[in-house]
Amino acid sequence: MCNTCGCNITPANEHLVQSEGRLAYTEDGKAAVTVLQSLLHENDHQAGHNRQHLDYFGALAVNLMSAPGSGKTALLEATIQALGDEFRIAVIEGDLETENDAARVRALGAPAVQITTGSACHLDAHMVHNGLHQLDLASIDLLFIENVGNLVCPASFDLGHHLNVILLSVTEGDDKPAKYPVMFRSADLLLLTKTDLLAVLDDFDPATAEAYFRQLANPAPVVMVSARRGNGLDAWLAWLRDNLQAYRQRLPRDETRSLTLAEEGVRCHRSSAPAASHADHHHHHYDHHHPGHQEI
């Protein structure tokens, strides 16, 4: 639950914020839906700014999203150990509380900024901007952003990153892509993690997980990894190398890689919210800054 993604608006209570609902207007008379939409537009504006920072220094930013406990930090540890001599890696960690994950990354010699979101269920572009200013972007090739563990809200926010990697551990259900389509549709890569446990699980079929994923019409590669045993890591590392190389080749042509699916997440997330005129007034302003983005 937080005040920026609309996750506190549900089909059951949305009548309260619509037209003549009891919470339709804030204390200063602004329409509640308009306030929410303005926050999301400000996020996109900030995200574009973040991406300009990253592109200036040629740092590829990869956003890791998943449910809690699917092994994002373990994957980062294995990745830093494997690629630490090849690339300069830094991490922005997002959790509601604690410095634990940043400490795990720093223990391996990589710079890490911990963002604690308090009650917010996702990172946003402003939090990431604060994190960027605590890092030396000139000495980073790969920036990993480990989002808050949550299969819903993080998918609706452009952080200014370039790629989305979704982790699905084999200890979760293999039907998760069907249940959380917004998240899985946003994936540039799907990692099935903790695959060393498949031997003792009889209720997770990787082929079923991939079939549900393909039903979302997402052609992104699916890679099976065990960070603990090292299985499948080569394919993950090759994907990172290929994408960093492709990104660096695009930069001199001024072609960054902006996200095309973030807006779809926002739309789905608040599918019942009526269009606000405030957003229309700013249409051209935001289009100018984000030519790759569709206005909602």
By the criterion CB under 5 A, which residues form the site for Mg ion?
72-73, 101
Between 65 and 182, whose beta carbon lies closer to Mg ion?
A: 65
Angle, CA 45 vertex, CA 191 and CA 285 arms, to 5°:
135
**Smallest distance, Mg ion to C-beta of residue 128, A:** 16
Distance CA 44, CA 288 (A): 12
User: Using CB atoms, what's the residue nearest to Mg ion?
Assistant: 73
Nearest to 70 by CA among 176, 199, 185, 202: 176
Between 101 and 172, whose beta carbon lies closer to Mg ion?
A: 101
Bridge partners of residue 62, in order along the sequence: 144, 163
Between 72 and 162, whose beta carbon lies closer to Mg ion?
A: 72
Between 216 and 233, whose beta carbon lies closer to Mg ion?
A: 233
**Smallest distance, Mg ion to C-beta of residue 95, A:** 7
Between 95 and 141, whose beta carbon lies closer to Mg ion?
A: 95
Distance CA 156, CA 137 (A): 25
Between 34 and 193, whose beta carbon lies closer to Mg ion?
A: 193
**Smallest distance, Mg ion to C-beta of residue 274, A:** 37
168: left (phi over 0), alpha (psi -120 to 50) or beta: beta
Contact 210, 187 (CB under 8 A): no
Between 101 and 174, whose beta carbon lies closer to Mg ion?
A: 101
Sheet holding 112-116, edge to edge: 112-116, 89-95, 142-146, 60-65, 163-169, 189-193, 222-224
Q: Where are the alpha helices (DSSP H) in 58-188?
A: 72-83, 100-106, 125-132, 176-179, 181-185
Eight-class DSSP state of 140: -
Contact 131, 146 (CB under 8 A): no
